[in-house]
Structure 1
């Protein structure tokens, strides 16, 4: 598996340089997510799977 090279901080994360943010990186065919305070723990998924999850979350919001 190819390791992500460049992590980007989510625009929805808190401001500043603290460790309270979600970061995302991509490699061919995959999306990697991690919390900045635990960078060794990563969630890896495909764009299609993440899109399905987000659609489901949005459709069930109260």
Structure 2
């Protein structure tokens, strides 16, 4: 989904842990989808995923349930 689609035109949010210097991952929520972008390239194409899949990803990240054997 591109930066001008429904997610691209949405209100974007960053984590409260962000430093505020525009080096952040931003997310937007619209119509059951979650868009993800880099704040430094806000006009680039926006990958989007179903909201429940993004919630599962965050749950794994918060609970250290992600495999760290990269």
Shorter-chain TM range is 0.5 to 0.7
Question: 2:47 corresponds to which residue?
Answer: 43
Structure with bigger RCO (C-alpha 8 Å, 6+ apart): 2
Q: Find the aligned partners of 1:38 and 1:13 in 2 and give their Cα distance.
A: 16
Aligned length: 60
Matching residue within 32, 40, 56 for 1:52: 56
State the SS of the aligned residue for 1:9: coil
**Superposition TM-score, scaled by structure 2 size:** 0.61
Whose strand proportion is higher, 1 or 2?
1
Question: Structure 2, unaligned stretches of length 5 or more?
Answer: none
Where does structure 1 differ by over 4 angstroms across 4 or more consecutive aligned residues? none
Tell me, which stretches of 5 or more residues in structure 1 are unaligned? none
